[in-house]
Structure 1
Amino acid sequence: MRYTNLGRSGLKVSRLGLGTMNFGWQLGEDDSHAILDRALAEGINFVDTADMYGARDYEGTSEAYIGSWFARTGRRDEVVLATKVYQPMGDGPNDRGLSARHIVAACEASLRRLGTDRIDLYQMHHVDRGTPWEEIWQAMDVLVAQGKVLYVGSSNFAGWHLAGAQAAAIRRHSLGLVSEQLKYSLMTRHVELEVVPAAQALGIGLLPWSPLAQGVLSGALRKHREGAAGRTTSHTAARVLEHRELLERYEGLCDDLGLHPAVVALAWLLGRPGVTAPIVGPRTPDQLDLALVALETTLGDDAESRLNELFPPVGNGGPGPEAWAW
């Protein structure tokens, strides 16, 4: 396993992150623990969750499963633990968002479910346009001062949100954001216009979620043709049919390269500027194998060129304003 700094921080994380959104929704506690066991055995030290992940509303099942795994194994100190705040965790008007009240309450609830005294990376799950940055950073600074949060990150922010958040943090003499978790894959390249260059300029590490486009880039067309289960959500099945011709060409390219489609998609992301660690969400321990192969795979210039032809960047490519202007 290779490790790298999380953004401009001194924190070392594995080049792959283990996403646990399936914990509680698609996987029971024992299966979730098995995946955690396998991930750490392979050197993955970065585990990502969120307070709202899980099978039942407002119960934080994914966090609870991770907490019970810590209690069973005693391996908390081996993990860089990331969770998120923003989504509704109750029916009340203050049970959501990024108000100081909700940030502090949500952090305390996450700590209880996770069975730990600290969150290594506390991520804002979405931008809250109704709460000023000064209030958000006040709450985060309190949690950092108490040792309950060590680093702060964001998710699903626009480039100008990253800039605004950092400017407010600087005014408070705070470290600010060290990471941005963003939707980024061969099929979703909009972030290259402004989010990626903003993050690079500000020293914010990129953590792509849905790196396989909800399974569409994992050989889904072949699985669909063969009747294999795959990620058989109606949404994924619809996208496979919608992009059939594109996926046929993509999977043909992967055959030419002698590589599994999931390996190609992850290897491409791992080679993108500013990317710290794609977040992968396996449903079985064995599904980690393909992700690990991607770590040792380098795509040549010809493969990169062919991928750009299949999945062209937005506009002229690269950051704005050059991507849309002369």
Structure 2
Amino acid sequence: MEYTQLGRTGLTVSRLVLGTMNFGPQTDEPTSHAIMDAALDAGVNFFDTANTYGQTAGKGRTEEIVGSWFAKDPANRDKVVLATKVYGNMAEGPGPAWPNHDRLSAVNIRRAVEASLKRLGTDRIDLYQFHHIDRRTPFDELWQAVDVLIQQGKILYAGSSNFPGFKIAQANEIAAGRGMVGLVSEQCHYNLYERRAELEVIPASIEYGLGVIPWSPLAGGLLGGVLRKEVKGGRREGGRAAERLTDPAERARFQAYEDLLDKHGVDPGETALAWLLTRPGITGPIIGPRTQDQLDSALRALELKLPDELLTALDDIFPGPGPAPEAFAW
């Protein structure tokens, strides 16, 4: 396993992050526990979840599965850097809209932390991430709530997710004015196909010392050999991934991608992960295995070294936007 520091902190984390979003709705509890066992045995020490994860199995179910895994062997808690998130509405049952059960008000942050700690079966959250910007809550209020939780030992670091670059800057400037560490990580949508984060989000993260944790590293399955799987009668992609493949030009790009990797004799999904590991500012991509085989494939990406010729060819197929402001000005 390869390790790195999380942004400007002294915290050491693995270069692959175990995402748990599938635990519960797609992967049952025993299989989820087995995947966490295998990931930890392989040296993956960075686990990511969110209070709303669980979907059809129920909001909070994923955190409960992680918590039951800790309960089986409490020693695992000190081996893991545990990250979760707050923002989505966690109100249950019929009734009014419960407007204070979501977003990033001090009231909801306090409630959400306590609920996550209970579901996770732990006394602290190592990295507490804001799942989305809250345009209604000022950062002074957010940081006051975070400061209290840090003083109480309930959270250790704060991170963002899906923040634009200017909000990363604003959040950390306000935190610095309060004498606080501020954001130490940004979890953003970034992969070989979706590269808009290179314009502002990743540069801002690097400038402020945030570790970047990309989610959807395989672009919803599109970078995992989707066309090859279609030919073999494998699982068909749905949603936005399927929509992309209905566009002949887009389909041709993914065909060129898979043909290129066939030429080099490398696996598409492993290549997409290995590409992210070459990018500036990247701590490690979030992998979301549903099975042991998917975890094994992700681990192999750590050993894959992409030659310059292949990196150049990948840029030709999926060019990035270029740096700001040159990408849209001069």
Report the counterpart of residue 238 of structure 1 in structure 2: 243
Please give the alpha-carbon distance, in whole angstroms, between the structure 2 residues aligned to 1:113 and 1:281.
20
Partner-residue secondary structure (3-state), 1:153: strand
Which residues of 2 match residues 14-163 of structure 1 at below 5 A?
Answer: 14-56=14-56, 59-74=59-74, 75-90=76-91, 91-163=97-169
CA contact (8 A) 1:14 1:277 kept: yes
Please give the alpha-carbon distance, in whole angstroms, between the structure 2 residues aligned to 1:165 and 1:218.
35
Q: How many residues align?
A: 322
Partner-residue secondary structure (3-state), 2:290: coil
CA contact (8 A) 1:17 1:280 kept: yes
Identical pairs, percent: 56
Partner-residue secondary structure (3-state), 2:311: helix
Partner-residue secondary structure (3-state), 2:219: coil
Amino acid at match of 2:20: T
Report the counterpart of residue 322 of structure 1 in structure 2: 326
Please give the alpha-carbon distance, in whole angstroms, between the structure 2 residues aligned to 1:185 and 1:44.
20
TM-score between the two structures when normalised by the length of structure 1: 0.96
CA contact (8 A) 1:220 1:240 kept: no
CA contact (8 A) 2:25 2:57 kept: no
Partner-residue secondary structure (3-state), 2:220: coil
Partner-residue secondary structure (3-state), 1:214: helix
Per-residue Cα deviation, 1:173-221 (whole angstroms, up to 9, x for no partner): 0000110000000110001011111100100000000000011100111
Partner-residue secondary structure (3-state), 1:92: coil
Partner-residue secondary structure (3-state), 1:238: helix
Partner-residue secondary structure (3-state), 1:24: coil
Partner-residue secondary structure (3-state), 1:44: coil
Please give the alpha-carbon distance, in whole angstroms, between the structure 2 residues aligned to 1:94 and 1:149.
21
RMSD over aligned CA atoms reads: 1.2
Partner-residue secondary structure (3-state), 1:154: strand
Residue from 278, 282, 293 that aligns with 1:275: 282
For structure 1, which runs of at least 5 residues remain unmatched after alignment?
none
Partner-residue secondary structure (3-state), 2:21: coil
Amino acid at match of 1:301: D
Q: 1:233: Cα distance to partner? A: 3.1
CA contact (8 A) 1:184 1:191 kept: yes
TM-score between the two structures when normalised by the length of structure 2: 0.95
For structure 2, which runs of at least 5 residues remain unmatched after alignment?
92-96
Please give the alpha-carbon distance, in whole angstroms, between the structure 1 residues aligned to 2:197 and 2:67.
33
